[in-house]
Amino acid sequence: MEDGECIATEAPKAPVTKERKIGTDLEKYIAKPYVARALQAPDVGNPDGTKEHPDNGMTVLQQHVAFFDQNNDGVVYPWETFK
């Protein structure tokens, strides 16, 4: 942690966290960026998430997994990710 920081934003064993700095001005773009969203994955360009994709009542992680689970059996096989 840098002097004056109250929250660590970099993990020494995950170099990507040092390369991709967290935005410190997110409140300009996203309402309450510190609040976890169940159904949205907001970013600066899409502060309300991607409205054109229905969430079907699934969390963002569930939506991501469902996209790759092509036969809907609850298991993502490597060959399903390359179809």
Task: Write out pLDDT tens, residues 8-40.
Answer: 889 999 999 999 988 889 999 999 998 999 999
Cα–Cα distance for residue pair 48/68, rounded to 1 Å: 23
pLDDT surpasses 80 at 1: no
pLDDT in tens, 33-70: 989 999 999 999 999 998 888 899 999 999 999 999 99
Q: Which three-class secondary structure state does DSSP give residue 1? A: coil
Mean pLDDT taken over the chain? 89
Closest CA to 24 of 7, 45, 49: 7
pTM listed for this prediction: 0.62
Adjacent-strand bridge partners of 11: 14
Cβ pair 24, 32 in contact under 8 A: no
